[in-house]
Amino acid sequence: MDKSALRRSLLQTRQSIAPDVWRMKSSQICDHVRSSALFAQAQTILAYLSVRQEPDLSPLFPATKTWGLPRCVGKSLHWHVWSPQDSWPLQAGAYGILEPHPHAPALAAHQIDLILVPAIACDTHGHRLGYGGGFYDRLLAAPEWADKPTIGIVFDFAYVPHLPHDEWDRPLTAVCTETALFMTAHTRDQPTA
Protein backbone atom coordinates (compact mmCIF):
# COMPACT_ATOMS: atom_id res chain seq x y z
CA MET A 1 0.00 0.00 0.00
CA ASP A 2 1.40 3.44 -0.86
CA LYS A 3 1.79 6.18 1.74
CA SER A 4 -1.32 8.16 0.77
CA ALA A 5 -3.61 5.10 0.77
CA LEU A 6 -2.13 3.91 4.07
CA ARG A 7 -2.55 7.39 5.54
CA ARG A 8 -6.25 7.51 4.51
CA SER A 9 -6.95 4.03 5.89
CA LEU A 10 -5.26 4.65 9.24
CA LEU A 11 -6.88 8.09 9.67
CA GLN A 12 -10.29 6.55 9.01
CA THR A 13 -9.64 3.86 11.63
CA ARG A 14 -8.43 6.44 14.17
CA GLN A 15 -11.41 8.72 13.63
CA SER A 16 -13.81 5.81 14.15
CA ILE A 17 -12.64 5.28 17.76
CA ALA A 18 -15.46 6.01 20.22
CA PRO A 19 -14.74 9.09 22.41
CA ASP A 20 -14.66 7.16 25.70
CA VAL A 21 -12.30 4.53 24.23
CA TRP A 22 -10.11 7.32 22.77
CA ARG A 23 -9.84 8.97 26.21
CA MET A 24 -9.02 5.65 27.92
CA LYS A 25 -6.35 4.69 25.34
CA SER A 26 -4.87 8.20 25.46
CA SER A 27 -4.66 7.99 29.25
CA GLN A 28 -2.87 4.61 29.01
CA ILE A 29 -0.36 6.09 26.55
CA CYS A 30 0.29 8.98 28.93
CA ASP A 31 0.83 6.53 31.81
CA HIS A 32 3.51 4.70 29.77
CA VAL A 33 5.21 7.96 28.75
CA ARG A 34 5.10 9.27 32.34
CA SER A 35 6.73 6.10 33.72
CA SER A 36 9.55 6.07 31.13
CA ALA A 37 13.13 7.04 31.88
CA LEU A 38 13.09 9.37 28.85
CA PHE A 39 10.28 11.39 30.44
CA ALA A 40 11.68 11.26 33.99
CA GLN A 41 15.06 12.60 32.86
CA ALA A 42 13.61 15.37 30.68
CA GLN A 43 13.00 18.89 31.95
CA THR A 44 11.95 20.59 28.69
CA ILE A 45 9.61 18.57 26.46
CA LEU A 46 8.12 19.38 23.07
CA ALA A 47 4.57 18.09 22.64
CA TYR A 48 1.45 18.71 20.55
CA LEU A 49 -2.24 19.39 21.02
CA SER A 50 -4.40 16.56 19.69
CA VAL A 51 -6.26 17.03 16.40
CA ARG A 52 -8.17 14.46 14.32
CA GLN A 53 -8.33 12.04 17.27
CA GLU A 54 -4.56 11.85 17.75
CA PRO A 55 -3.72 10.43 21.17
CA ASP A 56 -4.41 13.17 23.72
CA LEU A 57 -1.33 14.19 25.72
CA SER A 58 -3.15 16.62 28.04
CA PRO A 59 -2.94 14.23 31.06
CA LEU A 60 0.85 14.81 30.94
CA PHE A 61 0.71 18.61 31.07
CA PRO A 62 0.28 18.97 34.86
CA ALA A 63 3.76 17.38 35.29
CA THR A 64 6.35 19.86 36.48
CA LYS A 65 8.13 20.16 33.17
CA THR A 66 8.70 23.03 30.76
CA TRP A 67 6.39 22.32 27.82
CA GLY A 68 6.80 23.52 24.25
CA LEU A 69 4.20 23.56 21.48
CA PRO A 70 4.83 24.07 17.75
CA ARG A 71 3.84 26.98 15.54
CA CYS A 72 3.94 26.49 11.75
CA VAL A 73 5.92 29.22 10.03
CA GLY A 74 6.24 28.62 6.30
CA LYS A 75 7.53 25.04 6.06
CA SER A 76 9.14 25.01 9.52
CA LEU A 77 8.09 24.40 13.10
CA HIS A 78 8.91 27.12 15.61
CA TRP A 79 8.64 26.11 19.28
CA HIS A 80 7.29 28.20 22.13
CA VAL A 81 6.94 27.68 25.87
CA TRP A 82 3.38 26.81 26.89
CA SER A 83 1.50 25.70 29.98
CA PRO A 84 -2.20 25.06 30.65
CA GLN A 85 -2.18 28.20 32.83
CA ASP A 86 -0.48 30.27 30.11
CA SER A 87 -1.32 33.95 29.89
CA TRP A 88 -0.67 33.84 26.13
CA PRO A 89 -3.82 32.51 24.44
CA LEU A 90 -3.53 29.77 21.83
CA GLN A 91 -4.64 30.76 18.34
CA ALA A 92 -5.59 28.86 15.19
CA GLY A 93 -2.64 28.49 12.83
CA ALA A 94 -2.39 28.02 9.08
CA TYR A 95 -3.81 24.47 9.28
CA GLY A 96 -6.53 25.25 11.80
CA ILE A 97 -4.44 23.72 14.62
CA LEU A 98 -4.19 25.65 17.88
CA GLU A 99 -0.71 27.16 18.22
CA PRO A 100 1.15 29.31 20.74
CA HIS A 101 1.07 33.06 20.32
CA PRO A 102 4.04 34.29 18.20
CA HIS A 103 5.22 36.44 21.14
CA ALA A 104 5.24 33.57 23.64
CA PRO A 105 8.82 32.75 24.76
CA ALA A 106 10.68 30.79 22.07
CA LEU A 107 12.53 27.50 22.62
CA ALA A 108 15.76 26.55 20.83
CA ALA A 109 17.11 23.06 20.13
CA HIS A 110 19.79 23.23 22.85
CA GLN A 111 17.06 23.66 25.51
CA ILE A 112 15.10 20.53 24.54
CA ASP A 113 15.39 17.16 26.33
CA LEU A 114 12.60 15.16 24.66
CA ILE A 115 10.20 15.42 21.71
CA LEU A 116 6.79 13.72 21.73
CA VAL A 117 6.09 13.28 18.03
CA PRO A 118 2.60 13.00 16.54
CA ALA A 119 2.20 10.39 13.81
CA ILE A 120 -0.42 8.55 11.82
CA ALA A 121 1.65 5.37 12.21
CA CYS A 122 5.03 4.18 13.47
CA ASP A 123 6.87 0.96 12.79
CA THR A 124 9.02 -1.29 14.94
CA HIS A 125 12.17 0.28 13.47
CA GLY A 126 11.17 3.78 14.58
CA HIS A 127 10.03 5.06 11.20
CA ARG A 128 6.90 7.23 11.19
CA LEU A 129 4.16 8.12 8.78
CA GLY A 130 3.08 11.73 9.17
CA TYR A 131 0.46 13.84 7.46
CA GLY A 132 2.62 14.48 4.40
CA GLY A 133 3.74 18.05 5.08
CA GLY A 134 7.26 17.05 6.12
CA PHE A 135 7.39 19.40 9.13
CA TYR A 136 8.75 16.83 11.58
CA ASP A 137 10.92 15.17 8.90
CA ARG A 138 12.69 18.48 8.28
CA LEU A 139 12.97 19.23 11.99
CA LEU A 140 14.43 15.83 12.94
CA ALA A 141 16.84 15.85 9.98
CA ALA A 142 18.39 19.20 11.04
CA PRO A 143 21.81 18.76 12.70
CA GLU A 144 20.87 20.68 15.87
CA TRP A 145 17.97 18.28 16.50
CA ALA A 146 19.71 15.01 15.48
CA ASP A 147 20.59 13.84 19.01
CA LYS A 148 17.27 14.69 20.67
CA PRO A 149 15.35 11.72 22.11
CA THR A 150 12.02 11.24 20.33
CA ILE A 151 8.91 9.23 21.16
CA GLY A 152 6.34 8.58 18.44
CA ILE A 153 2.81 8.57 19.85
CA VAL A 154 0.25 6.23 18.22
CA PHE A 155 -2.51 3.79 19.11
CA ASP A 156 -1.78 0.05 18.90
CA PHE A 157 -3.46 -0.42 15.51
CA ALA A 158 -1.03 2.14 14.04
CA TYR A 159 2.11 0.46 15.40
CA VAL A 160 3.07 -1.76 12.47
CA PRO A 161 6.00 -4.01 11.50
CA HIS A 162 7.14 -1.91 8.55
CA LEU A 163 6.37 1.46 6.95
CA PRO A 164 7.64 2.85 3.66
CA HIS A 165 10.40 5.36 4.40
CA ASP A 166 13.14 7.36 2.72
CA GLU A 167 16.86 6.95 3.34
CA TRP A 168 17.05 10.42 4.95
CA ASP A 169 14.30 9.70 7.51
CA ARG A 170 15.62 9.74 11.06
CA PRO A 171 14.18 6.86 13.14
CA LEU A 172 12.52 7.68 16.44
CA THR A 173 14.10 6.68 19.75
CA ALA A 174 10.89 5.02 20.96
CA VAL A 175 7.25 4.46 20.09
CA CYS A 176 4.49 4.59 22.70
CA THR A 177 1.08 2.95 22.38
CA GLU A 178 -1.59 2.10 24.95
CA THR A 179 0.17 -1.28 25.44
CA ALA A 180 3.73 -0.13 26.21
CA LEU A 181 6.60 2.17 25.39
CA PHE A 182 8.85 0.37 22.89
CA MET A 183 12.49 1.39 22.59
CA THR A 184 13.71 1.06 19.01
CA ALA A 185 17.19 -0.06 18.14
CA HIS A 186 16.24 0.86 14.57
CA THR A 187 16.20 -2.88 13.89
CA ARG A 188 14.43 -4.33 16.92
CA ASP A 189 12.19 -3.07 19.73
CA GLN A 190 11.58 -4.17 23.28
CA PRO A 191 8.90 -2.99 25.70
CA THR A 192 10.15 -1.07 28.72
CA ALA A 193 8.51 -0.19 31.98
* Domains in the chain, CATH or no CATH each: 3-188 (3.40.50.10420)
pLDDT at 188: 44
pLDDT at 83: 86
Per DSSP, the three-state class of 5 is helix
pLDDT at 186: 54
pLDDT at 189: 41
- 121 closest CA partner among 27, 8, 38: 8
pLDDT at 166: 80
Q: Divide the 193 residues of the chain into consecutive groups of 10 and give the mean pLDDT of each group.
A: 89 97 98 97 96 95 94 92 81 86 93 97 94 90 93 97 85 97 64 48
Q: Is 135 exposed, middle or buried (0-12, 13-18, 19+ CB in 10 A)?
A: middle
Report the C-alpha gap between 83 and 61 in whole angstroms.
7
